[in-house]
Amino acid sequence: MSLKVSILGIGQMGKNHLRILSMLKDVVVKNIFDFNEVELKLLSAKYDVPYTLNIDEALQDVDAVIIVTPTSTHFDYFKLCVGKVTNVFIEKPLAETYAQAQEIKVLANENGMFVQCGFIERFNPVVVELKNILKTTKVINADFFRTNRLSSRITDVDVVVDLMIHDIDLALYLNGPIQNVIAYGNKEHGLVAFASAVFKHQNGSLSRAIASRMTEKKMRSIQVTTADAYIDAELVRKELQVHKQSSITDVDDSYIVSSLKQQIEVKPQEALLVELQSFISRCNGDQSAVLPDVDAGVESLRICQLVLESIENA
């Protein structure tokens, strides 16, 4: 039996979700919802799916809902799902504020709902391989870099909640709970446009994150120092290199220094496709995968709040 899904919001990400869900044979897009009827009609014809301007109709008789509306509306749309839908996917961030995210968690737990937060980088094939490598070694430090020029569609959110939140989630995912935050930043037009943060994890390791939209260059990378290697992960080009610690060999009173660089093969796959396939599997009862659930969404916003507070108090 196919899973019936409605999509709320048909902006750029909403269109991407619709494209992917339309390809999955075990999914039926029951409705796409928005207030832009012209765009709804075009997408309805292109993908042969129904559309509606009525939110109640969009939430009727569905197994899951994808919320891809502006961040400021996530909380209100989620509340409309309570009591009507069991499975809800919310694009990151989970909500506009940490307090709203906490309330989403309470409502989800009280009503037996599964909520997945759209941390797509967890499904980047480079991150998948990096996670596997780090299972067998101790992380000393992880550096996260994420830069992008301000998008015309982002006008109401700072760089911490817009960009850095991805790397905050990855830091938590790869290295566990964070116990201390120190951050500095710069503002443009009243919003933080550059942020640099240091996180001390409970396991003793460090993570450092830089997020900026004050540059034209687009960067998405992670560099990890472990007890025996340096790992370079390039998330845009999908490249992963492991530099093993150098060894010194004494041969006839001459010293030979050698090191090993490994290029790890990364499977070509679209992160959004894998992300939505994982969500659909969870909706169908498969609980084997560790997904970015409501707890991940709440914790990432808690750390975002600490970063912003640290910047204000610096």
Report residue 298's pLDDT band, with 50, 70 and 90 as the boundaries: very high
Cβ count within 10 A of residue 216? 8
CA–CA dist 112, 86 (Å, integer) = 7
Mean pLDDT of the chain: 93
As a three-state string, the secondary structure of 272-296 is HHHHHHHHHHHHCCCCCCCCCEHHH
The pLDDT-based confidence of 152 (bands split at 50, 70, 90) is very low
SS3 string, 88-108, reads: EEEECCCCCCHHHHHHHHHHH
Say if CB 142 and CB 167 are below 8 A apart: no
Q: Is the model's pLDDT at 151 over the cut of 80?
A: no
Residues 230-258: tens digit of each pLDDT: 999 999 999 999 998 666 666 566 666 55
- State residue 12 phi and psi, 5-degree precision: -60, -45
Q: How many angstroms separate the CA atoms of 137 and 134, rounded?
A: 5
Q: Give the model's confidence band at 155: pLDDT under 50 very low, under 70 low, under 90 confident, else very high.
A: low
Structure tokens at 60: 């009727």
| Pair of tokens at residue 14 | 């909403």
Q: What is the radius of gyration, based on Cα positions, of the chain? A: 21
Instruction: Give the total residue count for the chain.
Output: 314
What does the domain layout of the chain look like in residue ranges? 3-120+275-292, 121-268+297-313
Question: What is the model's pLDDT at position 246?
Answer: 66
Q: Are 8 and 65 in contact (CB under 8 A)?
A: yes
When comparing pLDDT for 154 and 296, which is higher? 296
CATH of 121-268+297-313, one of 3.30.565.10, 3.40.50.450, 2.60.40.10, 3.30.360.10: 3.30.360.10
Q: What is the pLDDT of residue 194?
A: 95
Per-residue pLDDT tens digits for 266-291 = 888 899 999 999 999 999 999 898 99
Confidence (pLDDT) at 150: 60
State pLDDT tens for residues 186-233: 998 889 999 999 999 999 999 999 999 887 788 999 999 998 899 999
Query: Is pTM beyond 0.85 here?
Result: yes
Mean pLDDT of 127-136: 94
What's the pLDDT at 265?
84
Question: What local confidence, expressed as pLDDT, does residue 82 receive?
Answer: 98
Q: What is the CATH number of domain 3-120+275-292?
A: 3.40.50.720
Distances (CA, A) of 9 to 80, 100, 113, 295: 14, 20, 21, 24
Residues forming a β-bridge with 118: 91
Q: What is the pLDDT of residue 249?
A: 61
- pLDDT band of 173, cuts 50, 70, 90: very high
